[in-house]
Homo-oligomer: A and B are copies of this chain.
């Protein structure tokens, strides 16, 4: 008997029939004697429907009111799921983010969880209830409704698992685990039985889209065992996200190839090469709550350097706007930018103990005539920015050159 947090995404609860299917799955877990906390997203399509409605009324919807509005999506699902569970004879009770209560900061549409008051959940669990919690939402100190941003339901699940010290947080989605890369692009892509948190962080942030990155960070921070599973398959062990490299496992050098077409690049040419300049450039971007992904700055010469970074395409125009006064102030030479780019990355903890990964990667891309625009590396990943049109080709060629299409 264990306390398990399960999170079901929008596709898994996309219709009354699917809600009932999920309820039956939950009932089977309950029948095995487990305590269950279930986190649900809005029914597929609902969030977009609400966004469209908002935009019909206000071109740029007010963030506070947008959160009031879109948070209703999950609120409907928690009620439906609780009803479906009761219909199977189980005791169930729903909670909105504000009721649980999931306290966040006040950054509407992209709030961060500060704390969770798990008292009520614990009492209900002890009383035999399945507790159904709305993902994606919380309240700030003043009682305003906030949302965590797209994919935030994963974060809710992990945060609850951490607060409750759950045995495992299971993320049910429409894929059956984490793959070496997107199978829609590389049919030979394989499901990974385990992946380390570090790798998962890189995979998630680089666009593998199975889990929201913040949820993985949370899981790592609070040592929550995280498992990705398919809500459409009856059984299956999915992919377990582990804390450490398992010495007993045959560790592949590279775990996967991630890619991301959601970014735009901005390069500022002729930046004075002096302390504080990076802050001057990125300060206003950060103040506007725009996340910066890659940042590249090469060694300068003649007191000047070039400074590049990438942001989400949704923030591209806003970022350019914010940079104008900065560029004028620091008297930079010019700004180059573009949003027809893709970031492709090879990720693997094995990289630490193996040389030559970068050169293998660059040679493979060169042989296909793919020009590399930016390079950025960490201990366990190498990312390149290339022309968007080469995305699929680059992913396929890298998947093959690192042997990921071979059985592990």
Contact = CB atoms under 8 A, between A and B. Distances in A.
Interface stretch (A56-64, A177-185, A218-226): A56-64
Interface stretch (A68-76, A151-159, A329-337): A68-76
Interface in A67-125: 68-69, 71-72, 75-76, 78-80, 82-84, 86-87, 93-94, 96, 98-99
B62 A80 contact: no
A283 interface: no
Given A68-B94, A99-B143, A76 B50 contact: yes
Contact of A76 (B53, B84, B96): B53
Nearest to A19: B57
Contacts of A78: 65, 68
Interface in A131-186: 143-145
Nearest to A54: B83
Contacts of A98: 98
Contacts of A83: 54, 57-58, 61-62, 65-66
Contacts of A82: 62, 65, 68
A84 B94 CA distance: 31
Nearest to A139: B99
A128 to B, nearest CB: 16
A302 B69 CA distance: 65
Interface residues of A, number: 37
Contacts of A65: 78-80, 82-83, 86, 94
B76 A58 contact: no
A20 interface: yes
A111 to B, nearest CB: 16
Taking chain A's interface residues, is the majority helix, strand, or loop, or is none over half, making it mixed?
A: helix
Contacts of A99: 143-145
Contacts of A87: 57-59
B69 A79 contact: yes
Contacts of A19: 57
A284 interface: no
Contacts of A50: 76
A286 interface: no
Contacts of A144: 99
Given A16-B53, A16-B57, A53-B16, A72 B76 contact: yes
Nearest to A120: B143
B79 A68 contact: yes
A209 to B, nearest CB: 27
Contacts of A86: 58, 62, 65
A329 to B, nearest CB: 32
A54, A65, A66, A94 — most chain B CB neighbours (10 Å): A65
Interface of A: 16, 19-20, 50, 53-54, 56-59, 61-62, 64-66, 68-69, 71-72, 75-76, 78-80, 82-84, 86-87, 93-94, 96, 98-99, 143-145
Q: Which 8 residue pairs across A and B have the least CB separation, nearest first? A: A69-B79, A72-B72, A58-B83, A16-B56, A68-B79, A65-B79, A58-B87, A65-B82
Given A54-B79, A57-B84, A58-B86, 20 more contacts: A19-B57, A20-B57, A57-B80, A57-B83, A57-B87, A58-B83, A58-B87, A62-B82, A62-B86, A65-B80, A65-B82, A65-B83, A65-B86, A68-B79, A68-B82, A69-B79, A71-B75, A72-B76, A96-B145, A99-B143
